[in-house]
Amino acid sequence: AEACMLGQPLFLLTPVVVGVRFHNALPAGTTATDLVLTLTEKLRRHGVVNKFVEFCGSGLSSMSVPDRATLSNMSPEFGATASLFPVDDQTLRYLRETGRDPAHVELVERYCREQGLFRTDESAIPVFTELLELDLAAVEPSVAGPRRPQDRVPLAQVRRSFEAVHGGADATLAGKAELDRLVGEGGNPVRAAGNPDTGGHVAEAASRPDTTPRRLDNGSVVIAAITSCTNTSNPSVMVAAGLLAQRAVERGLMPPAYVKTSLAPGSRVVTGYLERAGLLQPLDRLGFNLVGYGCTTCIGNSGPLPAEVAADVESRDLAVCAVLSGNRNFEGRIHPQVRASYLASPPLVVAFALAGTVEVDLTSEPVGIGSDGLPVFLRDIWPSPEEIAGAVARGVGSDLFGREYSRIFEGDEHWRELPSPAGAMFAWDPDSTYVREPDFFAAMEDQPRPPRDIRDARVLALLGDSITTDHISPAGSIAPASPAAAYLREHGVDLRDFNTYGARRGNHEVMVRGTFANIRLRNQLAGGREGGFTTHLGSGEVMSIYDAAVRYAAEGTPLIVVAGREYGSGSSRDWAAKGPALQGVRAVIAQSFERIHRSNLVGMGVLPLQFPEWESAESLGLDGRESFTINGIAGVRPGGRLTVVARRDGGEEVPFEVTVRLDSETDVDYYRHGGILQMVLRQLTATG
């Protein structure tokens, strides 16, 4: 997006197109969320990075556009460049339901039919590079977690998935296999140290009554959030959550007081149809109060846990959980005190909030005890497809879309009263801790110099698989003991006003200090310490990654990062490339890169290098304490090869080849200029 704003074209290599053919229809008791988690697992396993995914088949006839949007919205999580659906009767139905002009709907249908683009059940299956099959009737209720969106867990096995990672020495053999699958990512699991026999009941931490007080323990759900655009604009799952809440209230169920609940729809239309269907009040009764619209818990903006809960988690070192209807659950993203996060449909979020724990099999064990003293099971309060369809029909109307979107750019009085500076140039405020003039152009010359070889570089971080952009540049709260916190305190900012990294992304001083500061990062050079730490290889001292980068810069030592597979997966976060660049990282050597992050690294002048398929740091016997030299960089070509020489302390050399992940001539141009920003600025100054 930044490149396009600067007038640069968007370059794409001609993609492989993977077809996914749907058969049958989703069974009763399942949702579009269950389908997208199943799809994410399947496509991650197949491999669709840098590929388009296109859906086809007779199963589309029963799939609404909001359900299709739920699937497409998780394209980054399963790795695809784009996810495409054909135009059909469901498309026309959606256009009518959202208040589009009848003439426009007619034009869409006529055009698509004339062009041969309109799908029916009799349509031929397009020719794809690869074709996968998915039987919708086989989809089952599921969640994903506790660390990655692709780690789908059937509802009956949630307890086992949690205990496999956080169950300590008593984990079963099956759990051990699950543990190996979930955490084989270059680090060790963080086991719960809390003793279930210590500690008492947590004091009531919310205003809602709790008729069934339960003790906070390992596996307790402390955050239950209906949040994120993936699910909260889909009427069927939102209405299902409301109906389930309504039945729960009727049976006298309430979440335990330690569960922090919230409702953050992706659109104001959602609250309109929930209210019209009579379902907003029961959600509110259970504590799912409206907290705003858009990104909240899903990006780490859940706010602090209640004081009593936070203190109990800290003092007993509990492994507590979040359950949310978002699309990303990477380590450290949701809340710093939450060690396991599960993605679930909105009705399942409500169900887990009522249960208060993931240490439960909701397919066979009670959600809670009703006001009549009898156990209430999930099947007792789960709405039928007919009930959901009826409530959607009562609540959703085209008038809601017309009313809300006609005033979408107006904002409230607070927005309208914001002062805005005049003039063609932005006026930097030297005292601001939110927006500061960045250092990207500090040493820029009129003409780019040929890229220099990297000599005797040191490894800033040696990382495993599935390192996400949240690991590299967290967006959540700023830890009080972090380098970013020290900077803010030095500039007179109180702890209560630290805000989040995401809120301070306009201040490069905060963001460079927050790079690799994720509290769940497992750097193999950190001496077994979890978080944003590394060993300064000149002195042997373990320190923050930021402090080590500053010391290396003072010594004139270039830096690299070495990682495993899927480096840079997750959010397309520009600071996950900007931050390492400002820390002095010249290259990243990984087994594979996520598409958007690879592009962002190139855009910041950081060279992405890829191990051959059969090699890794581990297979080469590298422990990250070597010095690295990479020659021939000035002559790099798209997809070319370079030789890296790793030199151990004793002088032994380990040479290995890497592929240069500059995938086009445009990438080469960006890299030679030191990044896209430098290239665009040079072009602008050259043309006057």
Question: In the structure encoding, which two tokens stand for residue 642, read together?
Answer: 């370079």
Distance CA 576, CA 123 (A): 44
The CA distance from 631 to 297, in Å, is: 45
Instruction: Report residue 230's pLDDT band, with 50, 70 and 90 as the boundaries.
Output: low
Query: SS3 sequence, 385-408?
Result: HHHHHHHHHHHCCHHHHHHHHCCC
Class of domain 454-471+534-686 as given by CATH: alpha beta
Residue 503 CA to residue 300 CA, distance in Å, equals 11
Maximum Cα interatomic distance, the chain, rounded to a whole number of Å: 79
Spatial CA neighbour of 498 closest among 340, 338, 336: 336
Q: What is the pLDDT of residue 199?
A: 33
Given a cut of 80, whether residue 6 has pLDDT beyond it is: no
pLDDT single digits (tens) 658-680: 999 999 999 999 999 999 999 98
Q: To which H or E segment does residue 175 belong?
A: helix 173-183
- Do 142-168+210-398 and 454-471+534-686 fold alike per CATH? no
pLDDT at site 201: 31
Q: What is the topology classification, in CATH, of domain 2-86+123-138? A: Aconitase; Domain 2 (3.40.1060)
Q: What residue ranges do the domains of the chain occupy?
A: 2-86+123-138, 142-168+210-398, 454-471+534-686
| Residue indicated by tokens 């931050």 | 579
Least Cα distance to 130 among 61, 32, 43 occurs for 43
Residue among 2, 22, 254, 294 nearest 138 (CA) = 22
Cβ atoms within 10 Å, residue 543: 18
Distance (Å, whole) CA 637 – CA 642 = 10
What is the DSSP secondary structure assignment for residue 539, as one 8-state letter? T
Extended beta strands in 529-652, E state: 533-536, 541-544, 559-562, 585-590, 607-610, 627-630, 641-647
Q: What is the pLDDT of residues 316-358, one digit of tens each?
A: 999 999 999 988 887 778 888 888 999 999 999 999 999 999 9
Task: Report d(CA 31, CA 514) in Å as an integer.
Answer: 38
Q: Mean pLDDT of all residues in the chain?
A: 89
Q: Is the pLDDT of residue 205 over 60?
A: no
**Complete edge-to-edge strand list for the sheet that includes strand 16-23:** 82-84, 51-56, 16-23, 130-135
Main-chain dihedrals φ then ψ at residue 371, nearest 5 degrees: -65, -15
| Predicted model pTM | 0.82
Query: pLDDT (tens digit, 9 = 90+) per residue, 253-295?
Result: 999 999 999 999 988 889 999 999 999 999 999 999 998 888 8
Q: Specify the 3-state DSSP secondary structure of 231.
A: coil
The 10s digit of each residue's pLDDT in 561-590 is: 999 999 998 888 899 999 999 999 999 999
CB contact at 8 A, 676 and 3: yes
**What's the pLDDT score for residue 572?**
81
Count the neighbouring beta carbons within 10 Å of the beta carbon of residue 197: 5
Note the CATH architecture for domain 142-168+210-398. Answer: 2-Layer Sandwich (3.30)
Q: Which amino acid is at 232?
A: T
Token pair for 141: 């209720």
Range with the poorest average pLDDT among 171-185, 330-344, 548-562, 603-617: 171-185
